Amino acid sequence: MTRKGLPKRQRLIGAWLLLSGISLLGGALFAAWLESQLIITGVYRAVLWLGCFSGGITLFLMGLLFERMLFKPLRQLQAQLARLVANPDADDAAAPEGWLKALGPDLHRVEQSWRKDRQQLHRAHAEGARSATRIRKELEALLQMLETPLLLYDRHRRLMLFNQAAEAFFDHAPGLGLGKRLEALFPLASMQQTLGQLPSSGTPRELLIPCDNRWLKVIIRHVPESHDEVLLTCSDATAAWSSERGVRAELAQALTPLRQHTASLVSAAEALGQVRQQGSHVGSLHQRLEQVVSEESLALSDTVTCIGKLLESLQRQGERLTPIWSNDFWQMLDDYLDPAHRLITPIGLPLWFKGDAPALMALLSSLVHHLSHYMAGRLFEGEVSLSTRHVYLDVIWKGKPIAERELAGWRQQRLTTLPLSPSVGDVLRQHASDVWSIQDADGEHARLRLPLPSVEQSGAPRTAPPRPEFHDFGIAELPSPDTALASCPLRSLELVIFDTETTGLELRKGDSVISIGACRIVNTRLLASDTFDEYVNPQKRIPQASTAIHGITDEDVSDAPLLLPVLERFRDYIGDAAILAHNAAFDMLAISHQGVTFDMPVLDTLLISRALDEALDGHDLDSLVKRYCLNLPAGMRHTALGDARVTAELWLALLPRLEARGISTVEQLLHFQASAFDREDANAL
């Protein structure tokens, strides 16, 4: 493909200096020849030499004049128009200079009109979509509060929506992400037949699917009145089976011998009855023995029945015990007791524990009312502490501890706010717990201690982002994934933008990767939370000169994995996407020939920028950030993930300029960027 547009600035300068030099040299030779032919001295000799040099001097001065008054203003105008196309909202107060100065008011008028039209368009769009936006925000909030993992796929089995529960359920799974295929997360062969036979009415179908050393119970259904979209909800069947094989299974197995003993006693009683009927030794002893066996049989049968009911109750109650964050519990209890006043002040470090929150709130509410006889005020403190097997939930007050006799009476109190009005003792048995009251070491405070099951979980609960990026219904409008990648439109192209940091710039002489960062663009949308960022152990020291640039030290990578496993995870992260980098020749050289194949199309914003603006200097990342007024967060430059994000923003700025030139497919772009390839830049930053 031939180059288009103005020649490079360096070529123009070279041609100008060459012509000026030739003209001056020719003038000097001509002046020397004339001086040898004509005998002239004084002023005439000076005029001769000046006249012969005048052409070269004139050419040199005209070049300077055109550079200052025309060529430099033209380059500024080109950069300004490029910025206006790529980032129309960027502030640009620079006015044309030189002979183009008169275009300043006209250019400013065009720019203001364009921005005004865009503002009117945005205003009209915002007014028309306000109601939809409100509904969408409410749906987003509801989705994040759902505890059931939920995934929505389009007709091409691409993920359009997932909630926070799904993100936690499939933690660190490379197949979870907007636009990713169903088979990247589940073994498609396990559900292929079910997907082909799903009723359009939305009737669900259930499957058990092996996935990452777990058996998942997956409920699949068509979304009614949609374009063949499929909704999946998941649960961990392995966890349920493990629970059933634990204590509950042992209790269930214990029922079998008990029933056998019952049957044996009943049989013995029947045998004694038959002996009595046969007339042998019909005496009071046999009658008493028969009565005892019969009574014991009935009693044992009642006991077995009671154990069965307790087992069923235990199974139901165990499902109600869920992990609770102590700070959340104290806040809920405060709202339950008196929403207008804060009665309980949490102290100490918060912890997780397991319990039935409504039952515990009813129990402690009853306790607060009961304590009104033991304290002067109504202010309490709440504290949790960790023991070897339990989490102690303490309610603290200023006063004396409760006597054991009073606690025994309180255990019998009915909690009428709960279904079936269980007693305090029932709630304690539900949690396999008890209560006692003790005096604090200061002699002024007392506390009631309630041991509860601990939870293997640390850290405060995560909060959902205000605008979670867990859905994009525009994915359903993208071309089929089976479309040839070469003809795929650039706007529908899934891209992974990546960058590497290395121990140095001489990759062919032993320098290696120490960090890989990447982000993803789906449907021309940069996903803020879909990232890849890992350190790599280079098995060598990092030079101080390199650390001064990217800030990565030997300590940072000492415990990091080697390059091969990181590249394998990075390849899984890429999936079916194309990849993009700035000066991709360097980054591809860093990750190639390391045991992992990267055979997808590679796009390069450095080459694209050069092909678009051949006449402009400065195609490094910093110059392009400044040219297009891109957002560069402080401290992110020269970090792998930070540079990848900036490159992604640069790609979105270059996309409208590519489309303005009719470059709209991957094949066209690969040819276009190839026209700017320069082997000398393969090792440039």
One-character DSSP codes across 324-357: EEHHHHHHHHHHHH-TTS--EEEES---EEEE-H
Check residue 315 and give its pLDDT.
Answer: 47
Q: Quick: pLDDT tens for 622-668.
A: 888 888 888 776 667 778 998 999 999 999 989 988 988 889 899 99
Check residue 567 and give its pLDDT.
Answer: 94
Q: Can you tell me whether residue 433 is helix, strand or coil?
A: coil
Q: Can you tell me whether residue 79 is helix, strand or coil?
A: helix
Neighbours of 2 (CB within 10 A): 4
Domain ranges of the chain: 9-86, 146-319, 322-453, 486-684
Check residue 534 and give its pLDDT.
Answer: 93
Left (φ > 0), alpha (ψ -120 to 50) or beta: where does 5 sit? left
Global model pTM greater than 0.85: no
DSSP string, 367-400: HHHHGGGTBSSS-EEEEEEE-SSEEEEEEEEEBP
Q: What is the dihedral of CA 451, 456, 458, 461, to 10 degrees?
A: -90
Homologous superfamily (CATH) for 486-684: Ribonuclease H-like superfamily/Ribonuclease H (3.30.420.10)
Q: Who contacts 589 (Cβ-Cβ below 8 Å, separation ≥6)?
A: 507, 508, 682
Residues 440 and 79: their CA atoms lie apart, in Å, by 74
Q: Who contacts 77 (Cβ-Cβ below 8 Å, separation ≥6)?
A: 96, 100, 103, 107
Q: Who contacts 32 (Cβ-Cβ below 8 Å, separation ≥6)?
A: none
Low-confidence ranges of the chain (pLDDT < 70): 1-11, 89-94, 99-108, 114, 125-126, 128-138, 140-141, 144, 190, 239-257, 259-290, 292, 296, 306-320, 372-378, 458-477, 482, 633-635, 678-685
Check residue 177 and give its pLDDT.
Answer: 85
Check residue 467 and give its pLDDT.
Answer: 43
Helices assigned H by DSSP within 420-479: 424-430
User: Running DSSP on this structure, what letter comes out for residue 423?
Assistant: B
Note the CATH architecture for domain 322-453. Answer: 2-Layer Sandwich (3.30)
HSE, CB side, 13 Å, CA atoms: give it for residue 203.
6
CATH 3.30.450.20, domain 146-319, yes or no? yes
Residues facing residue 513 across a β-bridge:
502
Which pair of tokens denotes residue 185? 């997360």
Residue with tokens 């129990």: 363
Check residue 261 and give its pLDDT.
Answer: 64
Which pair of tokens denotes residue 428? 């304690």
User: Running DSSP on this structure, what letter comes out for residue 559?
Assistant: T
Check residue 52 and give its pLDDT.
Answer: 76
**For the purposes of burial, counting CB atoms within 10 Å of the CB of 516, is it exposed (0-12), middle (13-18) or buried (19 or more)?**
buried
Check residue 607 and give its pLDDT.
Answer: 92
Tell me how long the chain is: 685
Strand order from edge to edge, sheet including 390-398 = 344-347, 380-386, 390-398, 445-453, 436-439
Residues facing residue 210 across a β-bridge:
215
Check residue 533 and give its pLDDT.
Answer: 92
Q: Who contacts 513 (Cβ-Cβ below 8 Å, separation ≥6)?
A: 500, 501, 502, 536, 538, 563, 566, 590, 591
* E-assigned strand segments in 442-585: 445-453, 495-502, 513-522, 525-535, 578-581
Measure CA 614 to chain center: 38
Residue with tokens 């087992």: 311
Check residue 588 and give its pLDDT.
Answer: 92
